[in-house]
């Protein structure tokens, strides 16, 4: 590691922490002021977005563009189809992505960004509603809008009052507020969210069922109730799940026998070839249905401090779910 390490004294360290706190205070004050300005314009913006028959097109440039990209992603992940179009690229062909039924959300703190202003005639020609997030309600871009949301700040958090900091935070917060208002009004729920995020842990927890994760078919460790302990041990070893389900001729669950049961049984010095499995199994036991959420299996395993559960459908054993399988599937 060749980077030079600054030798900061206690005064320097205190100054850095004080500056960080001042930045946060400035941005908190800006957000509080933003909250106090919420009015009918916000309702009008939400109404236009709710009526969108196409996609929400978010556009901006520079820091506003970066914030716009995130706002578009938030819309899309919460049930409002949206994507970001870079304002400069829109003038060179990307405006072709806009079509009848879309709503445009343009972001420019100054409201004077040439790249966005050049898009206004095309937006109007397509008769697309235009919502503008700006710090100047009298700017050229704001005056062209159907709805203007005021994201102005008294000052930036930057000590020079130059770098977009508090203003970008307020813009981002406004975008989040719009997205949440839309999802709430549309009745967007956790299942909808999971369908938009199938690759994430939350998506797996909300979508994966026990049947998606369990060992089934030939992988299920099963023995009939008329076999000796030795046969159960062979099945446990063969299937490698650390347990076996004991069933009758209709595959009805009668009990289970686990590695832990084996240790306790061997302490009794029994004859494994003559001892009936029904005499040493744990009768009944816990089970779960195949259509239960996989995360419910995690909860049940943890509550009872066990590592596997028979999966039972209409009283018949159809599989085994294990903590190892849940870990492998990314549910835990």
Same domain, 308 and 275: yes
Check whether residue 75 and residue 133 sit in a common domain. Answer: yes
Domain that holds residue 129: 14-188
Predicted confidence at residue 206, as pLDDT, reads 62
Whether residue 204 is contained in a domain is answered as: no
Tell me whether residue 199 is in a domain.
Answer: no
CATH (domain of 160) = 3.40.50.10490
Check residues 94 and 131 and name the one with the higher pLDDT: 131
Sheet holding 56-60, edge to edge: 82-86, 56-60, 103-107, 130-134, 147-150
Task: Give per-residue pLDDT as tens, 113-160.
Answer: 999 999 999 999 999 999 999 999 999 999 999 999 999 999 999 888
Same domain, 148 and 259: no
Residue 205 lies in a domain: no
Give residue 209's pLDDT band: very low, low, confident or very high (50, 70, 90): confident
Which residues neighbour 135 within 8 Å (Cβ) at sequence distance 6 or greater? 109, 110, 111, 150, 151, 152, 153, 167
Q: How far is CA 95 from CA 88, 110, 118, 125, 228, in A?
A: 10, 22, 11, 12, 75
4 part of a folded domain: no
Same domain, 72 and 129: yes
CA distances (Å), origin 207, targets 51, 270, 332: 29, 45, 13
pTM: 0.64
pLDDT at 268 exceeding the cut of 60: yes
User: Kind of pairing, strands 130-134 and 103-107?
Assistant: parallel
For residues 23-30, give the mean pLDDT.
Answer: 95
Whether pLDDT at 200 is above 60: no
In a shared domain, residues 249 and 296: yes
Give the whole-angstrom CA distance, residue 167 versus residue 165: 5
Return the pLDDT at 188: 75
Distance set, CA 306 to CA 220, 237, 328 (Å):
17, 18, 17
Residue 27 lies in a domain: yes
In this prediction, residue 263 carries a pLDDT of 85
Q: How many other C-beta atoms lie within 10 A of the C-beta of residue 204? A: 22
pLDDT at 327 over 90: no
pLDDT score, position 319: 94
Per-residue pLDDT at 1 exceeds 50: no
Q: Is residue 176 located within the same domain as residue 217? A: no
Indicate whether 8 belongs to any domain: no
Is 201 a member of any domain?
Answer: no
Residue 78 in any domain: the answer is yes
Residue 56 clears pLDDT 90, i.e. is over it: yes
pLDDT reported for residue 203: 56
Percent of the chain with pLDDT over 90: 62
Whether 30 and 166 map to the same domain: the answer is yes
- Check: CB of residue 170 under 8 Å from CB of residue 28: no
pLDDT grade, residue 195 (50/70/90)? low
Looking at the structure, tell me whether residues 175 and 290 fall in a common domain.
no
Q: What is the pLDDT of residue 191?
A: 64
Q: In the structure encoding, which two tokens stand for residue 129, read together? A: 């509603």
Q: Is the pLDDT of residue 201 over 80?
A: no
Q: Does 235 share its domain with 129?
A: no
CA–CA distances in Å: residue 134 to residues 147, 196, 254: 11, 30, 68
Q: Do 154 and 32 share a structural domain? A: yes
The predicted-structure confidence for 165-189, as pLDDT tens digits, reads as follows 999 999 999 999 999 999 998 887 6
Number of domains into which the chain is organized: 2
- pLDDT category at 193 given cuts 50, 70, 90 is low
Contacts of 201 (CB under 8 A, 6+ apart): 330, 331
Instruction: Name the average pLDDT for the chain.
Output: 89
For residues 230 and 295, state if they share a domain.
yes
Does residue 197 register a pLDDT over 70? no
Q: Of the candidates 156, 188, 220, which is a domain's last residue?
A: 188
pLDDT digits (tens, 9 = 90+) for 284-298: 878 999 999 888 888
Q: What is the rounded distance in angstroms from the CA atom of residue 31 to the CA atom of residue 19? A: 19
Based on the fold, state whether residues 141 and 262 are members of the same structural domain.
Answer: no
């Amino acid at each position: 590691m060749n980077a030079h390490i600054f030798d900061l004294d206690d005064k320097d360290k205190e100054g850095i922490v004080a500056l960080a706190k001042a930045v946060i205070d400035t941005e908190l004050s800006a957000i509080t002021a933003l909250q106090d300005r919420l009015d009918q314009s916000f309702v009008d913006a939400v109404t236009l977005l709710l009526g969108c028959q196409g996609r929400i097109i978010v556009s901006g440039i520079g820091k506003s563009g970066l914030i716009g990209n995130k706002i578009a992603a938030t819309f899309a992940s919460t049930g409002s189809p949206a994507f970001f179009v870079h304002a400069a690229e829109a003038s060179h062909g990307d405006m072709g992505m806009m079509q009848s039924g879309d709503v445009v959300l343009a972001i420019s703190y100054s409201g004077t960004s040439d790249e966005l202003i050049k898009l206004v005639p095309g937006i109007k020609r397509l008769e697309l509603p235009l919502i503008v997030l700006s710090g100047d309600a009298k700017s050229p871009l704001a005056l062209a809008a159907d709805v203007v949301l005021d994201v102005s700040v008294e000052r930036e958090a930057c000590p020079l009052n130059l770098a977009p900091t508090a203003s970008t935070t307020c813009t981002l917060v406004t975008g989040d507020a719009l997205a949440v208002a839309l999802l709430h009004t549309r009745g967007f729920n956790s299942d909808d969210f999971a369908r938009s995020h199938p690759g994430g842990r939350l998506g797996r927890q909300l979508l994966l069922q026990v049947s998606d994760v369990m060992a089934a078919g030939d992988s299920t460790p099963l023995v009939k109730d008329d076999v000796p302990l030795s046969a159960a041990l062979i099945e446990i070893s063969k299937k490698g799940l650390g347990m076996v389900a004991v069933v009758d001729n209709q595959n009805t669950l009668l009990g289970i026998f686990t590695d832990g049961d084996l240790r306790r049984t061997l302490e009794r010095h029994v004859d494994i070839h003559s001892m009936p499995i029904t005499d040493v199994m744990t009768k009944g036991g816990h089970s779960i249905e195949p259509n239960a959420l996989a995360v419910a299996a995690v909860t049940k395993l943890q509550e009872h401090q066990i590592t596997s559960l028979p999966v039972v459908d209409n009283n018949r054993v159809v599989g085994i779910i294990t903590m190892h399988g849940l870990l492998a599937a990314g549910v835990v």
